[in-house]
Amino acid sequence: MNRVVGPTIGVALIVCICAGCTLDPVPVGSGEMLIEISVGDEWLHDYPILGPISRPNPPTFAVWMTASADPLDFVGTVFVTAKMGNASWIRADDGRPEALPVWSLARGGQPTSSSPAPDGVTGATPVDDSAYVVSWDSPPAEVYVWLEINHSVDYTAAYPDGAGPGTSGYSGGPGGSGQPALIYCAGVDTTVPGASRTMQLTGHSEPGDIGVGTVYDDLAGIDSALRIINHATVQVGGNE
Amino acid sequence: MIHVTMRRSILIVVCAILAGPVPPIAALELSPFVQIGPRDAGGGVLLDYGSRCTRTQTGILVTRHLRSDEFPVGAAVSVRQAFTLPSVHLFEAGLTVEADFFDPDAGLLVLPSAAADIGVRIPPFQRVTTFTLGYRYGFAEYEERHDGSGYHVRRVGRSTARPLVVRLIVEW
């Protein structure tokens, strides 16, 4: 009897656990704003380790808010991945200026190990869809939400491995960016309950350096980076 | 008629999770180098109850998430069901379910997981020491808060883990 009951219970528990692997809708109340990022086919990018050995690597990204359609009109950071927020790069003591240049400029400079981003907005990179709920003491009428996202070493013919500083397609040198960071944006009227916007791809950041915050709308030469996310949305809480 | 001898024993188990993160507890950003090494480690006592063909091992493990600053220590309730072919009892196949409990700032976090493994009873300690190598899937839903200057952020997400698990089980 025990030979039957034991395995049956084990299998049943496994089935129950696996069946529960769905994320319930995130509750968002009146006066709150929900930002959701849905991962795309290229969310995990093969990062070379040694020779033919590689492993899936999630992207570096930051979500922040501005008071206008200017990505540098900074209000605050919603989330930034840990390596960027803590400047804990292994092979780059001085940080990776090409990783998220626009967000870095907007917040007043790239985080350093001695002056990292606040712990509360920094976290390990989600490996799946993620959600962020923002609320205010005094809600602004309009807010713009920005997403800057980048994979390391996702080289293409336009952004090749080995391109040197000052040459076309330079993306930060060894271990650098490859295709530059992409910028998505959505502006919402927070006074309209239930208002929802899909974040639109507005362009890419400076390829190989921090630059001056220019967002380039020419996406030529950018391929797999376009599929890092499936979509991202911003939704104001409350009923329409 | 086959007579099955039931036996009970206490097992000391040491386990390590290799080559796999448990995000957000220890998610990797691999740029620019991968970090290979033990992610989590744990140990504890299991009660073993079985016959020649099956063993049920139940107990509590203390776990340490080596790469986590936020939730470094937890406890796991573990149930492992092992199956053995009596003719080749050197090997066994195991199915494990665990619930891993942590107490981060945001409140209690539960990381349920399931694993499948292959165990080898190591000569010359056959029937005493079992080495297992398995594959684990786990997930957790989490929430963290940040109070900024005039605004507040609540992060909600689901983390999954698919690491390799190594266990050394010593029969006491």
- For residue A15, give every residue at least 6 positions away whose Cβ sits within 8 Å of its Cβ, in sequence order, or none: none
Per the structure, the complete domain to which residue A201 belongs is given by 2-236
The whole-number pLDDT of residue B55 equals 84
Tell me which residues of chain B, numbers 129 to 168, contact chain A at a CB-CB cutoff of 8 Å: 137, 139, 141, 144-160
Contact call for B153 and A133, based on CB within 8 A: yes
Taking CA–CA distances from B147, the nearest residue in chain A reads: A120
pLDDT band per the 50, 70, 90 thresholds, residue B59: confident
When CB atoms are compared, the residue of B6, B149, B160 closest to A128 is B160
CB contact under 8 A, A135 and B160: no
Q: What is the least distance, in Å, from the CA of B122 to any CA of chain A?
A: 24
Interface test with A, best of B5, B28, B31, B105 (most A CBs within 10 A): B31
Which chain A residues are closer than 8 Å to B67 by Cβ? none
ω before B124 within 30° of 0 (cis)? yes
Instruction: Work out whether strand B54-65 and strand A196-198 pair parallel, antiparallel, or are unpaired.
Output: unpaired
Residue A187, CA distances (Å) to A69, A190, A237, B65, B153 in order:
8, 9, 15, 40, 18
Nearest CB partner across the interface for A82, out of B29, B112, B151:
B29
Whether B104 has a pLDDT exceeding 80, the answer reads no
CB contact under 8 A, B151 and A137: yes
Supply the pLDDT for residue A215.
95
Nearest CA in chain B to A57: B30
User: In terms of C-beta distances under 8 Å and separation of at least 24 residues, what long-range contacts does A171-176 make, across chains too?
Assistant: A171/A98, A171/A207, A171/A208, A172/A96, A172/A97, A172/A98, A172/A99, A172/A207, A172/A208, A172/A209, A173/A208, A174/A91, A174/B32, A175/A91, A175/A92, A175/B31, A175/B32, A176/A96, A176/A98, A176/A152, A176/A208
Report CB contact under 8 Å: A60, B153: no
| Nearest chain A Cα distance for residue B10, angstroms | 18
Taking only the tens place, the pLDDT of each residue in A89-144 is 766 666 788 999 999 999 999 998 888 888 778 877 777 788 888 988 887 889 99
B34/A55 CB distance under 8 A: yes
Name which of B23, B30, B154 is nearest A133 (Cβ-Cβ).
B154
Interface size A-B, in CB pairs within 8 Å, comes to: 160
Verify whether the Cβ–Cβ distance A120 to B114 is below 8 Å: no
Low-confidence winner among A56-65, A115-124, B29-38, B49-58 (lowest mean pLDDT)? B29-38
Q: What is the pLDDT of residue A106?
A: 95
Number of domains observed in the structure of chain A: 1
**CA nearest B68 in A: which residue?**
A124
Better-scored residue on pLDDT, A138 or A198: A198
Q: Cβ A128–B157 below 8 Å, yes or no?
A: yes
Determine whether the interchain pair A127/B4 forms a contact, defined as Cβ–Cβ distance below 8 Å: no
Per the CB < 8 Å rule, is B151 touching A131?
no
Q: Count the neighbouring beta carbons within 10 Å of the beta carbon of residue A17.
A: 18
Chain A residue with Cα closest to B139: A21
Amino acid A58: pLDDT: 85
What is the nearest CA distance from A40 to chain B, expressed in angstroms?
A: 16
User: pLDDT by residue (tens digit) across B130-144?
Assistant: 888 877 776 666 666
User: Looking at CA atoms only, how far is residue B97 from chain A in angstroms?
Assistant: 7
**Higher pLDDT pick, A131 / A12:** A131
